[in-house]
């Protein structure tokens, strides 16, 4: 069957076929915490003994159907219930192992074949044994002895002739396995019980434990790569492709990029990066290359000439991050520049979330928050909706990690940075429905998951307080070019501070030379 274009939670209306990939919610027994992972729908015969969820007598039987899911990379099977609608509030999927999760996510979007995933499950169990649950998808055989011991072991849940054939080497994508694994190791060999042989639980446990210990020792013994080593990053495609260069230390800020370094002469070559233009990646490159990031767009303004000083500490409608009016944007001088500035932040924010740069995403949101707090007026309401919808569309196009891609939502509503969108829309709900209703409801209808999250958050807010803040917002004077001017005193102060720092540096150099 054709690969799925996107991954979603299991929906009760989906006609399931073995091999289908989903985003599943499960409780990790090692940490006793709920997490999201990639789950592949498997036949029940693959993992007998897996506990199924308890059935409640009064509940709808359709809501209590459970499905066996193989969790690739975690070497385990879980029984998952389908839901009539997927959860809306959740944390970043695969938060414990984002590198492994992102690689699996990309792979699962392209593969929905039972024979393929059956071979992956066999190979993972063969290499890791039964007890090794260390998340990884580099199934290097620990050693020949361990492999022989595991090969002789009977695995009833893997010996299913109807679903997986014994000759799959030619159909398996080598990207799942390490480059050092020979093709022969990928074949799904039959493992019948040898006549007269007895395999005890103790023997199995020892075999699995020794294999797991060997893998841990290999991981611990691997030398740390040189942090100053330069990695080539390929962005764009065709005539619009550009190669960026960053050190490993810089790349470590991004869990996504770090997880996709490959090759003896390190490089990153990934389909998601091919969809980006070099211009879109430029802010990411600048952020990774330097420590100052995007905060340089803001200037702190207070004191004489910094607006209505008596109102600097006021509560502001939509001020999710409580930044007040203490800041302005340096390079924005009029309404047209403001609009262009806000819209160009959308792709930057989406790429930051996609690449696991949450500090950068927070910085972008801070800039948008300042734009709203200081320059927000009725006329600017559509601009901020354009920013929000642009983020959603860019995230969906880039297959943002942990995202729903079925129209319900296109970004992780539970992630701390992305939750700003939900909180902002919840606070400004009445303002938008009264002043810009058509545009607002068009966005809400397009993304029902977002709408549900906004309504849920709005229900927890103080309506009386919000009505007062809405009244204050509506009383704001129209924007003029004068509102964008940075107070001269503040500009001089910043320049003087820079001169003082330079002077101190020169004095220090002089002292060192003496």
The 10s digit of each residue's pLDDT in 395-428 is 766 544 333 333 333 344 345 456 889 999 999 9
Position 394 scores a pLDDT of 76
Burial string for 443-460 (b: 16+ CB within 10 Å, else e) reads bbeebebbbbbbeebbee
Give pLDDT, residue 157. Answer: 38
Are 432 and 426 in contact by the 8 Å Cβ rule? The answer is: no
Return the domain boundaries, the chain. Answer: 21-221, 228-291, 295-484
Residue 318 — φ and ψ, nearest 5°?
Answer: 85, 5
What was the pLDDT predicted at 247?
93
What per-residue confidence (pLDDT) applies to 304? 41
CA 490 to chain CA mean position, Å: 39
Measured between alpha carbons, how far is 50 from 38 in angstroms, rounded to an integer? Answer: 18
pLDDT at 125: 84
Under DSSP, is residue 26 helix (H, G, I), strand (E, B) or coil? strand
| 23 three-state secondary structure | strand
d(CA 334, CA 175): 50
CB 357 within 8 A of CB 400: no
* pTM for the full predicted model: 0.54
Cβ distance 363 to 296 under 8 Å?
no
What is the DSSP track for 59-122?
S-GGGG-EEEEEETTTTEEEEEE-BSS--S--PPTTTTSHHHHHHHHHHHHH---HHHHHHHHH
Residue range 359-405, pLDDT digits in tens: 888 889 999 999 999 999 999 999 999 999 988 887 766 544 333 33
d(CA 153, CA 496): 75
Residue segments in the chain with a per-residue pLDDT below the cut of 70: 1-15, 47-65, 82-96, 110-112, 138-223, 291-296, 302-313, 396-418, 489-514
H helices present in 162-277, as ranges: 201-221, 248-251, 255-258, 271-274
pLDDT at 308: 46
* pLDDT at residue 130 in the model: 79
């Amino acid at each position: 069957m054709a690969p799925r274009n996107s991954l979603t939670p299991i929906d009760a209306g989906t006609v399931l076929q073995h091999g289908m990939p989903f985003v599943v919610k499960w409780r990790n027994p090692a940490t006793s915490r709920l997490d999201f992972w990639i789950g592949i729908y498997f036949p029940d015969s693959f993992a007998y003994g897996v506990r199924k969820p308890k059935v409640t007598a009064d509940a709808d039987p359709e809501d209590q159907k459970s499905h066996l899911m193989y969790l690739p990379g975690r070497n385990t099977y879980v029984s998952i219930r389908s839901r009539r609608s997927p959860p809306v509030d959740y944390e970043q999927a695969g938060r414990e192992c984002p590198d492994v999760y992102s690689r699996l996510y990309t792979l699962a979007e392209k593969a929905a074949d039972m024979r393929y995933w059956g071979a992956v499950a066999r190979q993972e169990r063969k290499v890791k044994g039964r007890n090794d649950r260390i998340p990884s998808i580099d199934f290097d055989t620990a050693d020949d002895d361990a492999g022989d011991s595991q090969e002789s072991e009977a695995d009833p849940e893997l010996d299913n002739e109807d679903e997986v054939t014994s000759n799959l080497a030619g159909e398996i994508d080598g990207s799942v396995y390490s480059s050092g694994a020979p093709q022969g190791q990928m074949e799904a060999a039959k493992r019948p019980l040898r006549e007269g042989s007895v395999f005890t639980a103790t023997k199995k446990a020892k075999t699995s434990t020794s294999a797991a210990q060997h893998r841990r020792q290999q991981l611990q013994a691997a030398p740390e790569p040189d942090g100053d080593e330069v990695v080539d990053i390929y962005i764009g495609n065709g005539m619009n492709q550009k190669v960026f260069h960053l050190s490993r230390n810089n790349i470590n800020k991004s869990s996504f990029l770090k997880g996709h370094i490959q090759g003896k002469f390190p490089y990153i070559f990934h389909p998601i990066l091919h969809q980006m233009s070099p211009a879109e990646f430029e802010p990411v490159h600048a952020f990774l290359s330097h420590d100052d990031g995007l905060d340089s767009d803001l200037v702190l303004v207070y004191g004489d000439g910094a607006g209505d000083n008596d109102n600097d500490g006021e509560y502001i409608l939509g001020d999710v991050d409580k930044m007040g009016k203490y800041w302005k944007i340096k390079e924005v001088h009029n309404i047209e520049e403001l609009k262009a500035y806000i819209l160009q932040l959308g792709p930057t924010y989406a790429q930051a979330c996609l690449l696991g740069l949450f500090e950068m995403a927070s910085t972008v949101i801070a800039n948008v928050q300042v734009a709203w707090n200081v320059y927000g007026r009725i006329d600017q309401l559509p601009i901020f909706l354009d920013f929000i919808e642009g983020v959603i569309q860019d995230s969906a196009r880039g297959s943002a990690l942990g995202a729903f891609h079925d129209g319900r939502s296109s970004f992780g509503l539970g992630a701390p940075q992305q939750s700003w969108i939900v909180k902002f829309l919840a606070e400004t709900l009445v303002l938008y429905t009264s002043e810009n209703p058509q545009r607002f409801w068009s966005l809400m209808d397009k993304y029902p998951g977002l709408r549900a999250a906004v309504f849920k958050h709005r229900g927890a807010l103080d309506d009386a307080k919000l009505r007062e803040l809405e009244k204050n917002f509506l009383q704001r004077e129209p924007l003029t070019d004068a509102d964008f001017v940075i107070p001269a005193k503040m500009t001089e102060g910043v320049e003087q501070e820079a001169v003082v720092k330079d002077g101190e540096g020169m004095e220090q150099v002089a002292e060192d030379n003496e």
